[in-house]
Structure 1
């Protein structure tokens, strides 16, 4: 993988961005596998939704964003949307088991 300043043209940049996006999507797939696995330890719909965990997770992701110079509002929205989707999927998985 090239560093940004090692890229000599836009094609290099796009290839590196595509590679990063592929890694991000693979990581999201791994994250989703853990979300589904977590449903086996939850005993209620409230446990699946885990509002306190959701709130604290968003605050932590905001802090992580600030550390690396990203806009925390954008990262919060991204994670809010992602995790709400994953909660819905986890609920479906959990309901099948009950």
Structure 2
């Protein structure tokens, strides 16, 4: 078999694996949606202790299966962060449907990116990096303001670097930098924040 044929065969196998993985993610999502509708509040959704429990378990499973624990951890942290955002949305929807007290405040907070950023900063200052990371990922997924996104990317990048997740930090920072560079002549680009993003990006790439 020639090298191109061998590569094509490997890629076909990867595509088949991806199909199975996406099916499993869909199955996990169904469980997450159900869990989100049952939890009492947003704190129960974020559940940082549960997150770390899952990470410890999948790292151990990675060792058993001959996979890189670091790769598995990075994959699961990204997956969990995305599912927390989804579960928060589900939880808020369930609270609205049942007329749960305080749901209006939760919706108002979700619509206020500045408030979400401040809450993430408070979580980081308390040393609750898992919660801060989830909130910042959610903010970057939803916020449209470029200056706010740069600030969030800086804080998230610093948290990821501090926790040894340099590959994820590089992705967050590179995405923020490229988005800002497209609009670098616009007034809403904070030059200092953009420079900080670039400095952190240079740091993780060394």
Which has the greater radius of gyration? 2
The bucket for the TM-score relative to the shorter chain is 0.7 to 0.9
Distance across 1 between alignment mates of 2:30 and 2:6: 37
Distance across 1 between alignment mates of 2:59 and 2:32: 21
Query: What's the C-alpha RMSD, in Å, of the aligned pairs?
Result: 1.3
Task: Figure out how many residues of one structure are paired with residues of the other and give that number.
Answer: 91
8 Å CA contact 2:37, 2:90 repeated in 1: no
Query: What's the TM-score, normalizing by structure 1?
Result: 0.85
Give 1:39's match in structure 2, choosing from 33, 36, 41: 36
Runs of 4+ residues deviating >6 angstroms: none
Structure 1: state its 5+ residue gaps. Answer: 1-7
Give 2:62's match in structure 1, choosing from 62, 65, 81: 65
The C-alpha deviation readout for 1:6-63, integer Å capped at 9, x for no partner, is xx83333222221111110111111111100111220011111111111100000000
- Larger RCO, structure (CA 8 Å, separation 6 or more): 1
Give 1:78's match in structure 2, choosing from 72, 75, 79: 75
Residue of structure 2 equivalent to 1:93: 90
SS at match of 1:63: helix
Q: 1:73 Cα deviation (Å)?
A: 1.2
Query: What's the TM-score, normalizing by structure 2?
Result: 0.42
